[in-house]
Chain A
Amino acid sequence: MVAIKNAAKVAGLVGGAIAAGSVQAVDLPEDRVETMYHLYDGGGVIAQGPALLIRKSMLDRVSLSGSWYVDAVSNASIDVVTTASKFKEVRNQGELGLDYVVRDSLIHIGGSRSVEPDYQADTLSMDLTQDVFGGMTTVVLGYSHADDKVGQHGTPGWVGTAHHWQYRLGLTQILTPRWTVSANLESINDDGYLQSPYRLARVFGTYVHETDPTTRESKALKVSTTGDITPDGAENRRSFRADYRYYWDTWGVRGHTLELGYNRNLAPGWLLESYVRYYRQEHALFYSDNAPDQTLYVSRNRELSTMHDFGPGATVSYTLRSVPGKYDVKLSGTYQFIDFHYADYTVVATGKPYSYHASVFNTVLSATF
């Protein structure tokens, strides 16, 4: 069931190698195996499952990668329990990638398929990473295209299709032996069936099927800086990171994301990554909690409402075994708390603004060789 999903969400389009803070962009990715168990619990939704990633280089120029990600979802969110009933479903995503190094350039080609009972998304992405200025500047150009098929339980075949085009440009600059800055600009254009066949809107107290525009154009600009802040003579290294992203689109959504991070080595083999993240947005032009009259487009999708969220997170990694120059085996655990608040999405029974908090957890066993 695709309830409460927004077909315009193009998480799958986000391909590529625009990695903020990376200073070795044209090196082939290191050979690695990652296994992960992940869990999200919040707002009546539990999503969990395993994930696997394998990356292996060959001939010193090519790196092949493959990954598999499972989302087993139990959904009893407020949208679902208000207008439908709790459901369970599983999403499987497979991905293949190829990286190729030529001189100071890294070429990446990747493809993925995400499949769930009533939704299928296929994505193809290409990225070119180029080092210039003696390796102090890294430029990334990327393009992705995705085709989605949208279904509905009880309806044979597909009820619609959606197409997505994404263009990205990234720039990372080394400023000093301790500091880097980067800027990423991404444009995503959507066309087709961008609404949910299940989601309902409210018009003067009456529930009607939501109607979203069939096109959407968005842009996001993110600027970041990362620095080594280890005091002279200190044994354990520390770093600081600050990211800010501004988002705007033709639906009228405006979003601000601020993230601050602090990492440090706790002891030999131990690494702590900590961060806080704040996000807020203004609602889409056609969003309404309870529209006073019927308009061409109307939605009560709370992703498009005026809302904000905030939360701290931390990851602790421990090196289980390390043979320098041969392999490393690490175990890590992440916990993040997120508090969501909606200004113009209300609980129907009480009429009060809706809010909830969520926990995000994952544990990863990884090996590099």
Chain B
Amino acid sequence: MSRLRPLALVAAAFVLAGASGCAFKPIEPWVKPYERERLADPVMKTSLNELPGRQLDHVYTVREGSRGATGVQGGGCGCN
């Protein structure tokens, strides 16, 4: 019975919310497009260019046992 207690509480909360006339409103995006100017600034980027990331990713991938989740487009087996 103790497992049912949380479910009963949630059900009761729904009933009370409905009885009191509350309605669940979807969450609205709270950062509007015109507020994203700072996020789009080049200073927020990890790298301005694409090619240097490939070099660094290659340098690490061939020397470390870890790989993946870097977000960099690399290539080949690589032996250096």
Q: Which residues of A contact B (CB under 8 A)?
A: 1-7, 9-21, 23-24, 32, 34, 36, 38, 40, 45, 47, 51, 53, 67, 69, 71, 73, 75, 89, 91, 93, 95, 110, 112, 114-116, 119, 121, 123, 133-136, 148, 166, 168, 170, 174-178, 180, 184-188, 218-222, 226, 228, 230, 237-239, 241, 245, 247, 249, 251, 253, 255, 257, 261, 263-265, 271, 273, 279, 281, 284, 303-304, 307, 309, 315, 317, 330, 332, 334, 336, 338, 340, 358, 360, 362, 364, 366
Q: What are 17 inter-chain pairs, A to B, with CB distance below 8 A?
A: A14-B71, A16-B71, A20-B71, A21-B46, A114-B76, A133-B29, A135-B36, A174-B39, A180-B39, A228-B44, A237-B43, A241-B46, A249-B65, A303-B65, A332-B48, A334-B52, A362-B55
Interfacial chain A residues near B70, Cβ < 8 Å: 14, 222, 245
Taking the closest CB of chain B, its distance from the CB of A208, in whole angstroms, is 21
Would B80 and A45 count as touching, CB distance under 8 A?
A: yes
Is the CB–CB distance between A2 and B77 below 8 Å? yes
| Inter-chain contact B41/A237, CB cutoff 8 Å | yes
Task: Looking at the assembled complex, report how far the CB atom of B48 sits from the nearest CB atom of chain A, in whole angstroms.
Answer: 6
Interface string of B22-41 (1 = CB under 8 A from A): 00000011111101111111
Partner of A15, one of B36, B48, B58, B73: B73
Selected from A1, A11, A238, A334, the residue in CB contact (under 8 A) with B57 is A11
Known: A6-B62, A228-B38, A309-B64. A75 touches B80 (CB 8 A): yes
Q: Which of A12, A36, A45, A177 contacts B31 (CB 8 A)?
A: A177
Partner of A11, one of B35, B48, B65, B76: B76
A9 contacts B61, CB within 8 Å? yes
Nearest CB of B to A249, in Å: 8
Cα distance A271–B48 in the bound complex, in angstroms: 10
Closest 8 CB pairs of A and B: A114-B76, A134-B29, A255-B66, A47-B80, A11-B74, A5-B79, A247-B66, A186-B68
The answer to whether B67 touches A188, judged by C-beta atoms less than 8 angstroms apart, is yes
| Cβ-neighbour of B73 out of A91, A95, A271, A360 (below 8 A) | A95
Are B38 and A247 in contact, CB atoms less than 8 angstroms apart? no
Could you tell me the distance in whole angstroms from the C-beta of B76 to the nearest C-beta in chain A?
Answer: 3
What residue in chain B is nearest A119 (Cβ atoms)? B77
CA distance A315 to B36 in the complex (A): 25
Q: Are A317 and B38 in contact (CB under 8 A)?
A: no
A257 touches B75 (CB 8 A): no
**How many of chain B's residues touch chain A, expressed as a range?**
35 or more
Assess the A114–B77 pair: CB atoms within 8 A.
yes
Q: How many A-B residue pairs have CB under 8 A?
A: 250
Query: Is the beta-carbon distance between B67 and A16 smaller than 8 angstroms?
Result: no
**Known contacts A135-B29, A317-B48, A366-B48: A304-B65 contact under CB 8 Å:** yes
- A358 — which chain B residues lie within 8 A by C-beta? 59
B69, A185: Cβ atoms closer than 8 Å: yes
Known: A75-B79, A119-B76. A177 touches B63 (CB 8 A): no
**Which chain A residues border B35 with CB–CB below 8 Å?**
177
Choose from A121, A241, A253 the contact partner of B76 (Cβ within 8 Å).
A121
**Alpha-carbon distance A176/B29, docked complex (angstroms):** 10
- Counting chain A CB atoms within 10 Å of each CB, the highest count among B28, B40, B55, B75 belongs to B75
CB of A73 within 8 A of CB of B73, answer no
Task: Report whether B48 and A330 are in contact in the complex, using a CB–CB cutoff of 8 Å.
Answer: yes
Central interface residue in B37, B71, B72, by most chain A CB within 10 Å: B71
How far, in Å, is A78 (CB) from chain B's closest CB? 13
Complex: how many Å from CA A17 to CA B64?
23
Q: Which of A51, A176, A218 contacts B51 (CB 8 A)?
A: A51
Contacts of B33 in A (CB 8 A): 134-135
A284 partner residues in chain B, CB cutoff 8 A: 65
A218 and B68 contacting across the interface, CB-CB below 8 Å: yes
> B43 near A263 (CB under 8 angstroms)?
yes
